[in-house]
């Protein structure tokens, strides 16, 4: 009877901790959603961004930022002129077929994947890449939330040593590592080696520090 009582108490404490964790998770998500973000793309040109020179990769079409490989299938990065440390960044993203793109933040650089991983050969959208895909930073429930071929809203928050991702309003991944500590521009990626096109609109950000 004593063992049963102790096990019941242990289960009860574990359940209470789980509920508390879910409540904190929800509150953090609501707090992030409540932050008013500011446009960092004017819908007309690349003002405020550092494009490669020459630049066959990035262009603005009907208010949409379009990233596409050149004929040699080279990759490219597009960075904000401004650096950020603690920040929320959000964009609507659309693509068709197989792509390999992502958001970049901090120094050293941490990436949130969009599309198919070149190494794993599977869709790792909203998962964190650090030279590998750490299990604790891999996104959950993507297949239920992702809208192929349509606009998807992907938000990334860097706060202290913790990085959090929301897909279409729902939190899908979180990764903690104090290594990625310094301010840096926000980056968008076109991966080399495959023919791909990715589109961004309503790019917005808010520095938290």
Instruction: Report which of 205, 175, 164 is spatially closest to residue 80, judged by C-alpha positions.
Output: 205
The reply to whether 186 and 155 lie within a common domain is yes
The reply to whether 96 and 160 lie within a common domain is yes
Q: Which residues pair with 163 in a beta bridge?
A: 158, 175
pLDDT, position 189:
98
In order, the DSSP letters of the chain are -HHHHHHHHHHHHHHHHHHHHHHHHHHHHHHHHHSPPEE---SSS-TTEE--SS-SSEEEETTEEEEE--TT---EEEEEEEEESSEEEEEEEEE-SS-EEEEEETBTTEEEEEEB-TTT-SB-TT-EESSS--GGG--SSHHHH--TTS-EEEEEEEETTEEEEEETTEEEEEEE-TT--B-EEEEEEE-TTS--EEEEEEEEEEE--
Q: Report the alpha-carbon distance of residue 4 to residue 103 in Å, rounded.
A: 50
Longest dimension (CA), the chain: 76
The reply to whether 58 and 84 lie within a common domain is yes
The reply to whether 109 and 179 lie within a common domain is yes
pLDDT in tens, the chain (209 residues): 444 444 444 444 544 444 444 444 444 555 566 679 999 999 999 999 999 999 999 999 999 999 999 999 999 999 999 999 999 999 999 999 999 999 999 999 999 999 999 999 999 999 999 999 999 999 999 999 999 999 999 999 999 999 999 999 999 999 999 999 999 999 999 999 999 999 999 999 999 97
The total of structural domains in the chain comes to 2
The reply to whether 78 and 30 lie within a common domain is no
The reply to whether 61 and 125 lie within a common domain is yes
The reply to whether 74 and 24 lie within a common domain is no
Q: Report the alpha-carbon distance of residue 123 to residue 118 in Å, rounded.
A: 9
The reply to whether 8 and 76 lie within a common domain is no
The reply to whether 7 and 103 lie within a common domain is no
Q: What is the dihedral of CA 166, 157, 111, 42, to 10 degrees?
A: 90
Q: Report the alpha-carbon distance of residue 171 to residue 185 in Å, rounded.
A: 23
Instruction: Report which of 173, 187, 1, 203 is spatially closest to residue 81, judged by C-alpha positions.
Output: 187
Provide the token pair at 101.
Answer: 């793109």
pLDDT, position 34:
64
The reply to whether 30 and 43 lie within a common domain is no
The reply to whether 166 and 76 lie within a common domain is yes
The reply to whether 4 and 83 lie within a common domain is no
pLDDT, position 5:
44
Question: 173: domain range?
Answer: 39-207
pLDDT, position 17:
42
Give the domain CATH number at 182. Answer: 2.60.120.560
Q: Which residues pair with 79 in a beta bridge?
A: 50, 187
pLDDT, position 179:
98
């Amino acid at each position: 009877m004593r063992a049963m009582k102790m096990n019941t108490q242990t289960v009860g404490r574990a359940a209470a901790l789980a509920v508390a964790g879910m409540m904190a998770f929800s509150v953090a998500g609501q707090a992030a959603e409540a932050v008013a973000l500011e446009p960092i793309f004017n819908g007309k040109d690349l003002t405020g961004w550092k494009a490669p020179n020459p630049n066959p990769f990035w262009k603005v079409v009907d208010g949409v930022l379009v990233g596409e490989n050149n004929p040699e299938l080279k990759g490219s990065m597009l960075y904000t002129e401004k650096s950020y440390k603690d920040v929320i960044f959000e964009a609507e993203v659309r693509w068709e077929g197989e792509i390999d793109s992502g958001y970049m933040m901090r120094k050293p650089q941490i990436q949130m994947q969009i599309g198919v991983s070149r190494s794993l050969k599977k869709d790792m959208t909203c998962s964190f890449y650090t030279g590998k895909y750490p299990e604790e930073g891999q996104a959950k429930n993507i297949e239920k939330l992702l809208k192929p071929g349509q606009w998807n809203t992907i938000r990334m928050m860097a706060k202290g040593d913790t990085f959090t991702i929301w897909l279409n309003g729902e939190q899908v991944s979180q990764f903690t590592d104090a290594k990625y500590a310094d301010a840096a521009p926000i980056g968008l990626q076109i991966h080399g080696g495959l023919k791909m096109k990715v589109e961004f609109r309503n790019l917005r950000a808010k520095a938290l520090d």
